[in-house]
Structure 1
Amino acid sequence: MTVRRVAVAVALALALAGCSSATEPPKAAAPVPSSVPVTAPFKGLRPTSVKIPKIGADSSLISVGLKTDGSISVPSVHKPMQAAWYQLSPVPGDVGPAVVLGHVDGDKQPGIFYKLKDLVPGDEVDVDRSDGKKLKFVVDHVTQVPKETFPREAVYGNSDKPELRLITCGGVFDHAAHSYKDNIVVYANLANA
């Protein structure tokens, strides 16, 4: 695993420990130093939207980076229908696992990835990019994993083909921690390479 991938894996794991309506970053791990702003306009090639017809998910994509505490910046819980692309992961369509995040809920309403757990192999995910390309990914498999045993290598490890990871929270809501106990991860492969 490259140094960049390790930093990505640590940052995403930290961020996902506090998804849903949590407003504080997780405190369990040491911060990852970063000069990346919380959310910065991304001037290079980037994905602009994600659409998942089966579950009615359709969102523009904002670009997010790392917060100063090393966790990933996620869309505001006050805008739970907004999805985000993690700009330190590959651009969808490039080799490697591109990462798209979305809330399962927020502000007491369903989020953009509320039904993500309902996807099955063969379902399609459409991603548009700033260069005009329209990409189609096909779901390979979906997992629900406890946050304590998040499979970092399987989710963020290098690959030799364009892949997509869709990530949200799931499972039981822990009211004391203000967070869900699990993550839902969708693994998808580029169909129209």
Structure 2
Amino acid sequence: TVPVELVLPARDVRAPVVAVTTGPEGALVVPEPPSTVGWWSPSALPGGAAGTTVLAGHVDSATGGLGALAVLRHVGEGEEVVLTGADGRSVGYRVSARRQYAKAELPPEVFAPGGPPRLVLITCGGAFDRRTRHYADNVVVFAEPT
């Protein structure tokens, strides 16, 4: 089902989800405002039999404040993640790992189209470069279906 809402119950986060694609340079387009999360529409649908479902959002913005995914740097193994679909069905996941990668070193398997079903949540992290107005890293949370 197409995801329309993300919930991280232990973090008191509830955020709308919208479909996003990649831009002309191949980078994932992240929605504004930071309170909204983007589902990368070429990725798997939540609740499917295979493939990675990819969601991404801003950690923060100068005008919008903290993003819905700002909590990812604190999320631990075993925490629950719930995606609600446009049809009202919910798909549950449990966090299995949290990693931080330099943006240029984000592993391609994060976007793997095949393999067992899983959820990947991505936001910015690491040092903020005031000159370029970008974070150096990505925080990536991996979750398995419950």
Task: Report SS of the residue matched to 1:71.
Answer: coil
Q: Is structure 2 residue 88 aligned with structure 1 residue 146?
A: no
Match for residue 45 of structure 2 among 91, 108, 113: 91
Cα distance in 1 between the residues matched to 2:140 and 2:25:
24
Cα distance in 2 between the residues matched to 1:156 and 1:63:
15
| Equivalent residues, number | 144
Task: Report SS of the residue matched to 2:27.
Answer: coil
| Aligned amino acid, residue 66 of structure 1 | T
Q: Is structure 2 residue 113 aligned with structure 1 residue 162?
A: no
**TM-score normalised by structure 1 residue count:** 0.70
**TM-score normalised by structure 2 residue count:** 0.91
Instruction: Give the corresponding residue for 2:135.
Output: 180
Larger radius of gyration: 1
Instruction: Give the corresponding residue for 1:61.
Output: 17
Note closer, same or farther for the CA distance 1:71–1:149 as it changes in structure 2 (3 Å cut): closer
- Name the % identity: 32
Cα distance in 1 between the residues matched to 2:25 and 2:102:
22
Contact 2:52 2:115 in 1 (8 A): no
Match for residue 75 of structure 1 among 24, 31, 34: 31
Note closer, same or farther for the CA distance 1:119–1:164 as it changes in structure 2 (3 Å cut): same
Instruction: Give the corresponding residue for 1:128.
Output: 84
Note closer, same or farther for the CA distance 1:72–1:158 as it changes in structure 2 (3 Å cut): closer
Structure 1 or 2: larger strand share? Answer: 2
Q: For each residue in 1:29-75, what CA deviation from the matched residue of structure 2 results, as whole angstroms up to 9, or x when unmatched?
A: xxxxxxxxxxxxxxxx4111100012222111111112234332211
Q: Is structure 2 residue 62 aligned with structure 1 residue 118?
A: no
| Aligned amino acid, residue 83 of structure 1 | V
Cα distance in 2 between the residues matched to 1:107 and 1:130:
31
Task: Report SS of the residue matched to 2:58.
Answer: coil
What is the deviation of 1:158? 4.3
